[in-house]
Structure 1
């Protein structure tokens, strides 16, 4: 892992892959075909891309019951405890509607309303991601969304979804699940078919074609974000343990060859020890090839002149995940302005947040933590402003409002006010 002085401009940004022209064209064609032919198109694309023929896409109660029967009690208890932690955290994010009343009778406020329906895309096919189910469904449920739809690619051999995904969905409160993947799933969620009614918002990660499809349908429906490859930055001093730092850096590198793992430290000795430890641990990783390429292309250890300069560097990076591994990590927390999730101290490694602690693991990537937040309850709600003016309030302020309207050259706006003033 390369060690560089901070004079080299640090970055976690990778060029955002917009897909090739052929890929974008293919996604547009898939979406249009689903809009035109509905379920027939879904069946054709499922057979083409997933290699399996399905007559019915909906997950049946029998399949869900079989999923519960196939997992052991320990796994079920684990899913339930994780779900409880995630629910507890997100319930604290709930904000009520509110109104205020002035002496002149003016009432102003904000009405908070849950979205009617949301769709969650869960990657699959060769792997199971129950954590994605919990992290997306639970905040929507807490927000009060009544209809939550899950789509995920079916297993190429069985035509079913992974048992852990089905169990997590049931435990989180989602009742409507479909065995559909890819851009065709995004199209179905956006525009509907004979089987699937459209939703108002789509959340959840996916491959390039899913990401391109989400870009394409945005505006007709809302989306959460276009998530990039995973990333971690570790802010550490010489109190950090090299083997733990290395393990944490590799926890993200094993995700994807585009994952980014960065250590920022004022300690040259720590930098050198971590670089050695990275190589040692890489050799025993099952996903060594992936992690090694990610570390080679997007991994770095930046050595700063001071801890203050290290903090400034972290704020420039605005990482998805930030670990603070210093003597007194809480003292630095207030100085951190930009990070998706902050893990404090050596007993809070990033995987704690991925699966179990409670905060959401759907986080802004590629430096977008400068202006965006983790997936949360408010992402599944909308707000309406409330305005009630009394007769006295309009009389007191009407001339000012009309004057402002004429300032912008909007005479009809001014007259809408003055018509009422004349009739008082």
Structure 2
């Protein structure tokens, strides 16, 4: 069955409306999901461990007498590390080393300076006390997500990283536990769903409350994260995965087709877009897509994604391609062109930018080093990849000398009285020295 992919041309009069329709994605949460999540969160908040046990039995078919039984010991994590095949262990360790090396370069330090009258100003950078990491379970196993979420937290200096992962029917994924061991996760609980998010946000008798929750999950997890935001910090509410490739027409069409597949295979809502000034190349890639699709294990998912949400967009030149890309603000952007550095200067909005023909987006998902937790649904216009800075907070430091308090107290007095806040003004005026 041939896949017919949407064709757009940036020169067409209705291109703007066609592009808007292509990018439209309904992220509204079903009313029933909302109600269910709010009920679960309320139960966990008010009943703690007992609610967690009940929901774990209901949703994961796992019956235990205490939440303590749902905690994996450090010994169990090390056992998993020894149990996995050696090539997987080596690959995890190599990926972790690269992720750690990259993120160590992001680490921000506290700073101070002194102005001319001896006043000290600065910023104190402090890691969060405790971070929660949600890892999907069941059919999905994402050891790479463990590395990408836990390592920046540990590099930031977070005191304790708590991981939650559902184990439906008690089936444990050793690869995920091994990744937790390598990343230095402190505690692991086999709890999932909205109840896990609630436990991390509010704390229970056994599971400690955290300061921030990160990590991907299904619609119930995403909705729960949205609900608890404000009580705790969250990384983001992620939409479907996206890839946008800008190609000059000189890369092997099979390579580009497989790059588009690499995101389409995530789920039916994933979006894959190719932009090129070469119409014949767009035809060649479409032919490659139809040639290669039958060879894919997740062919049905890819076919639906490519049919419903993919597009081949023709532009006049690479500069126009960059402009269209910026309007999309993609999660992943491949610059599969002769001179990617030159085109990079024209790009403003993208979660991660993959430079040149040999840089497959898939490398970024696993082992390049930069984080694979990226802004989706156009939010790259104002947000950034997950990083060390997401696990640090900043406190302003202000220390006035007597001379500085005198000089700036006069400024504060005028402004405070202008706002009608007399106590503010007088508080500053007490520190003003007499002119006598």
TM-score by length of 2: 0.94
Distance (whole Å) between structure 2 residues aligned to residue 400 and residue 65 of structure 1:
61
Distance (whole Å) between structure 1 residues aligned to residue 75 and residue 430 of structure 2:
65
- Residue of 6, 9, 30 corresponding to 1:5: 9
- Residue of 248, 251, 256 corresponding to 1:245: 256
Distance (whole Å) between structure 2 residues aligned to residue 395 and residue 175 of structure 1:
50
Distance (whole Å) between structure 1 residues aligned to residue 362 and residue 43 of structure 2:
40
Q: Is it true that 1:111 corresponds to 2:124 in the alignment?
A: yes
Q: Is it true that 1:161 corresponds to 2:165 in the alignment?
A: no
Match of 1:299 in 2: 310
- Summarize the alignment of residues 94-109 of structure 1 with structure 2, pairs less than 5 Å apart: 94-109=107-122
Distance (whole Å) between structure 1 residues aligned to residue 350 and residue 388 of structure 2:
19
Match of 2:287 in 1: 276
Are the equivalent residues in 1 in contact too, given 2:81–2:181 (CA < 8 A)? no
Match of 1:93 in 2: 106
Q: Secondary structure at the match of 1:283?
A: helix
1:14 positional shift = 3.6
1:65-85 superposed Cα distances (whole Å, 9 cap, x missing partner): 431232121111111110000
Q: Secondary structure at the match of 1:110?
A: strand
Distance (whole Å) between structure 1 residues aligned to residue 287 and residue 420 of structure 2:
69
- Residue of 42, 53, 63 corresponding to 1:53: 63
Match of 2:27 in 1: 17
1:304-349 superposed Cα distances (whole Å, 9 cap, x missing partner): 1121111101111100000001111111111110000000111110
TM-score by length of 1: 0.97
- Residue of 182, 197, 209 corresponding to 1:186: 197
Q: Is it true that 1:30 corresponds to 2:34 in the alignment?
A: no
- Summarize the alignment of residues 225-374 of structure 1 with structure 2, pairs less than 5 Å apart: 225-374=236-385
Q: Is it true that 1:196 corresponds to 2:225 in the alignment?
A: no
| Structure 2: runs of 5 or more not aligned | none
Are the equivalent residues in 2 in contact too, given 1:148–1:176 (CA < 8 A)? yes
Match of 1:78 in 2: 91
Match of 1:383 in 2: 394
Question: Runs of at least 4 residues of structure 1 off by over 6 A?
Answer: none
Distance (whole Å) between structure 2 residues aligned to residue 68 and residue 81 of structure 1:
14
Distance (whole Å) between structure 1 residues aligned to residue 75 and residue 182 of structure 2:
16
1:92-114 superposed Cα distances (whole Å, 9 cap, x missing partner): 00111000011210111000000
Q: Secondary structure at the match of 2:305?
A: helix
* Aligned-pair Cα RMSD in Å: 1.3
Report the number of matched residues: 422
Q: Secondary structure at the match of 1:36?
A: helix
Q: Secondary structure at the match of 2:23?
A: coil
Distance (whole Å) between structure 1 residues aligned to residue 397 and residue 23 of structure 2:
41
| Structure 1: runs of 5 or more not aligned | none
Distance (whole Å) between structure 2 residues aligned to residue 353 and residue 162 of structure 1:
23
Q: Secondary structure at the match of 1:420?
A: coil
Moved more, 143-152 or 391-400: 391-400
1:53 positional shift = 1.4
Distance (whole Å) between structure 1 residues aligned to residue 78 and residue 127 of structure 2:
30
Moved more, 125-134 or 15-24: 15-24
Distance (whole Å) between structure 1 residues aligned to residue 26 and residue 55 of structure 2:
27
Match of 1:214 in 2: 225
Are the equivalent residues in 1 in contact too, given 2:77–2:180 (CA < 8 A)? no
- Residue of 54, 57, 75 corresponding to 1:44: 54
Distance (whole Å) between structure 2 residues aligned to residue 43 and residue 319 of structure 1:
40
